[in-house]
């Protein structure tokens, strides 16, 4: 069993907030995904897209991995995990749990961004309150799309999931 703990950075109007999540992975599975905690269908679909994107990117890089099963857990009872901005954080934690060397542990990194099946990273709305929430929670790094219009010195900007692996591996 492998494990990764990550953070979704949400926003509700002018306020940002941090949402913890956990991913447990068992190798030798059939790519089955289960979830516990307060999740909805939209969040589970985002996780499935991230899982497929990560698998495609790793396959294209000839990174060895075997079929696996994943369990996504949200330990908080009240969350608002809707929207596409969660996808970069979910993909990052999946990369970590699969053994990819990343620049920072998922548990110490705030990420916000949308991704597609190819692993391209896209900007999202509401980044300013998310940056404030990440700083208030003590995060030193925030990974975002290179196309994100907001600027903060803590931001690492990427175009694609492989940018993290090439730059820091």
Per-residue pLDDT tens over the stretch 54-105: 999 999 998 888 889 999 998 876 665 567 899 999 999 999 999 999 999 9
What tokens were used for 167? Answer: 């730059």
Q: Looking at the predicted structure, is the pLDDT value of residue 12 above 70?
A: yes
Assessment of whether the complete model's pTM goes beyond 0.85: yes
Q: Looking at the predicted structure, is the pLDDT value of residue 168 above 50?
A: no
pLDDT at 169: 42
110/138 Cα distance (integer angstroms): 10
Tell me how many degrees the CA angle 103-108-113 measures, rounded to the nearest 5. Answer: 75
SS3 annotation, the chain: CEEEEEEEEEEECCEEEEEEEEEEEEECCCCCEEEECCCCHHHHHHHHHHHHHHHHHHHHCCCCCCCEEEEEECCCCCCCCCCCCCHHHHHHHHHHHCCCCCCCCHHHCEECCEECCCCEEECCCCHHHHHHHHHHCCCCCEEEECCCCCCCCCEEEECEHHHHHHHHC
Per-residue confidence band for 4, with pLDDT thresholds at 50, 70 and 90: very high
Select from 44, 56, 133, 130 the least CA-distant residue to 90: 44
Q: pLDDT tens digits for 16-59? A: 889 899 999 998 888 888 888 877 888 889 999 999 999 999 99
What are φ and ψ of residue 96, in 5° steps?
-60, -45
97/29 Cα distance (integer angstroms): 14
Fold of the 2-85+97-168 domain: Ribosomal Protein S5; domain 2 (3.30.230)
Q: pLDDT tens digits for 99-119? A: 999 999 999 999 999 999 999
């Amino acid at each position: 069993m492998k494990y990764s703990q990550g953070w979704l950075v949400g926003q509700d109007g002018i306020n940002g907030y941090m949402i913890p999540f956990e991913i447990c992975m068992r190798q030798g599975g059939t790519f089955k995904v289960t979830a516990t905690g307060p999740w909805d269908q939209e969040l589970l679909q985002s996780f499935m897209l991230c899982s497929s994107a990560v698998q495609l990117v790793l396959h294209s890089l000839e990174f060895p991995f075997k079929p696996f099963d994943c369990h996504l857990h949200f330990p908080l009872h009240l969350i608002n995990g809707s929207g596409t901005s969660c996808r970069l954080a979910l993909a990052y934690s999946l990369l970590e749990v699969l053994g990819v060397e990343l620049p920072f542990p998922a548990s110490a990194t705030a990420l916000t961004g949308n991704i597609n099946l190819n692993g391209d990273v896209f900007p999202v709305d509401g980044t300013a309150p998310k940056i404030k929430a990440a700083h208030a929670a003590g995060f030193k790094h925030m990974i975002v799309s290179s196309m994100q219009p907001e600027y903060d010195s803590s931001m690492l900007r990427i175009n694609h999931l492989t940018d993290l692996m090439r730059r820091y591996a």
